[in-house]
Structures are given as structure tokens and as C-alpha cells.
């Protein structure tokens, strides 16, 4: 059997650097494959619907064998959940930026945060999101992602309300935790109309009036 011997520290260093480069390449390839699978799944979900898209469809369109796809994602629900985590990461960044530059008016501040949530529909259609909501009631991974998204949105609204309350723009007696539930639920109820008419200012204007009615009694001049 052939063998070789490392004769110097430089040989060991070269081997270590080679191993590091190979590991980096493997990680990059794995990340590329994973993203390709997710992008393909998202496209098929939008084109065909979530329920009608199979793991076999995704593997074929992405250019992988089904077994390879299952090495990355065990279920279709897991793929959708992973997509949700990616979108949430982007939304968190946008949400933090919005919180750092909130309008003085509490209603406009809340609406600025709700507009961030609408960004999700730039990545995926409302119809697919509806399927996600329906599936999340029976699927562990999807349910967890749905709950995390709603909780995050509610927390963002509460921070905006707390900020307005601390600065004296909202009455100190306002229960911001309870109000964050009310405002978030109102927004969720209007999401379909707004997402289907993102460029229709009338739809968002209606939501503005409703939130203004809800918060109006708590605003201080």
C-alpha cells in the first residue's frame, strides 16, 4: 500500500489550508443547492399552488434527484417553513429600520410597520399565503412559523405604541399589549384586500381610518 509522510510544518500547514478550502467549497455548494431548491419550490407554489406541488415536481424542476432533495428537506412543509424563515429574516431587518424612523403620529407609525409586513407579498402571492395559513393549522412546522410571524408583528406594533406612549403622544393609561393584539388582528383581516391592491391607496386609507378610530380616543394633542 502506498503511503506518504509529512516531513515539515509547512506540509502540515498546506494540508490544513487545503482541507479548509475543500470544506468551504462543500459548504458553498450545499448552500447553493439548498437555495436553488427553495427558489424552485417558491416558483412552483406560486404557479401551481402549494397543495398541488409535490416534492417530485420540485426535485425535477431544480435538477436534482428526489433522494437528494430529501437529504436537504424531509417534507414539503419543512421547505415552506424554511421559506418563511428566510422571508422573516428580511422582514425583521426592514422592521428594525422602520422602528428607528417612526413618524410622530402614532397611527402613521403603526401603519409604517404594517406596510413592512406587506413586503412578504413581493416574494409570494396571497393565494399561496392562504394555503400556508390553512396548512399551518394541521402542520407542526408551518404552525410554528405562522405563530412566530404573527408574534413578531404584534411585538413590533407594541414597541411603536410604547414609544408613542412614552413620548406623550398616547395616553399613559393605554394597555399597549392589548392594543397590539387589536391592531394586528385588524390588519390580518384586511390583508387580502390590501395585498391584492398594493398600489391602491384607497384600501390602505380605509385601514388608516379604522386604526385611527381605535387609537383616536387614546391620542393626546
The last residue of one of the domains, among 74, 91, 113, is 74
Domain span at residue 175 reads: 76-221
Residue 6 lies in a domain: no
Residue 168 φ/ψ region, left for φ over 0, alpha for ψ in the -120 to 50 degree band, beta for the rest: left
Identify the pLDDT of residue 53: 93
Residues 110 and 26 in one domain: no
Q: Distance between CA 43 and CA 125 in Å, rounded? A: 10
* Span 40-80, pLDDT tens digits: 998 898 888 888 899 999 999 999 999 999 999 999 888 88
Q: Is residue 98 located within the same domain as residue 118? A: yes
Query: Do residues 73 and 82 make contact, with C-beta atoms less than 8 angstroms apart?
Result: yes
Same domain, 104 and 211: yes
Beta bridge partners of 219: 170
Number of domains making up the chain = 2
| 149 lies in the same domain as 188 | yes
Write down which residue in 74, 99, 118 finishes a domain: 74
Task: Specify whether the CB–CB gap between 29 and 41 falls below 8 A.
Answer: no
Same domain, 62 and 97: no
**pLDDT computed for residue 1 by the predictor:** 47
**For residue range 149-160, what is the model confidence (pLDDT) as tens digits?**
888 889 999 999
- Show which of 74, 105, 124 is a domain's final residue: 74
Residues with pLDDT less than 50, the chain: 1-2
Amino acid at each position: 500500500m502506498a503511503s506518504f509522510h509529512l516531513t515539515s510544518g509547512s506540509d502540515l500547514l498546506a494540508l490544513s489550508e487545503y482541507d479548509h478550502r475543500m470544506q468551504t467549497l462543500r459548504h458553498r455548494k450545499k448552500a447553493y443547492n439548498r437555495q436553488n431548491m427553495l427558489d424552485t419550490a417558491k416558483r412552483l407554489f406560486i404557479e401551481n399552488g402549494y397543495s398541488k406541488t409535490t416534492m417530485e415536481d420540485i426535485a425535477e424542476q431544480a435538477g436534482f434527484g428526489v433522494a437528494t432533495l430529501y437529504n436537504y428537506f424531509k417534507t414539503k412543509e419543512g421547505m415552506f417553513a424554511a421559506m418563511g424563515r428566510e422571508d422573516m429574516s428580511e422582514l425583521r431587518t426592514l422592521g428594525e429600520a422602520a422602528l428607528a424612523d417612526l413618524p410622530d403620529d402614532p397611527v402613521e407609525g403603526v401603519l409604517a410597520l404594517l406596510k413592512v409586513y406587506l413586503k412578504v407579498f413581493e416574494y409570494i402571492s396571497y393565494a399561496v399565503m392562504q394555503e400556508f395559513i390553512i396548512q399551518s393549522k394541521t402542520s407542526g412546522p408551518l404552525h410554528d412559523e405562522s405563530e412566530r410571524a404573527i408574534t413578531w408583528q404584534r411585538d413590533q406594533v407594541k414597541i411603536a405604541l410604547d414609544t408613542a406612549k412614552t413620548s406623550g403622544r398616547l395616553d399613559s393609561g393605554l394597555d399597549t399589549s392589548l392594543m397590539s393584539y387589536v391592531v394586528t388582528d385588524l390588519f390580518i383581516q384586511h390583508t387580502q384586500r390590501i395585498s391584492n391592491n398594493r398600489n391602491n391607496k384607497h384600501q390602505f386609507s380605509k385601514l388608516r381610518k379604522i386604526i385611527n378610530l381605535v387609537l383616536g380616543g387614546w391620542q393626546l394633542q
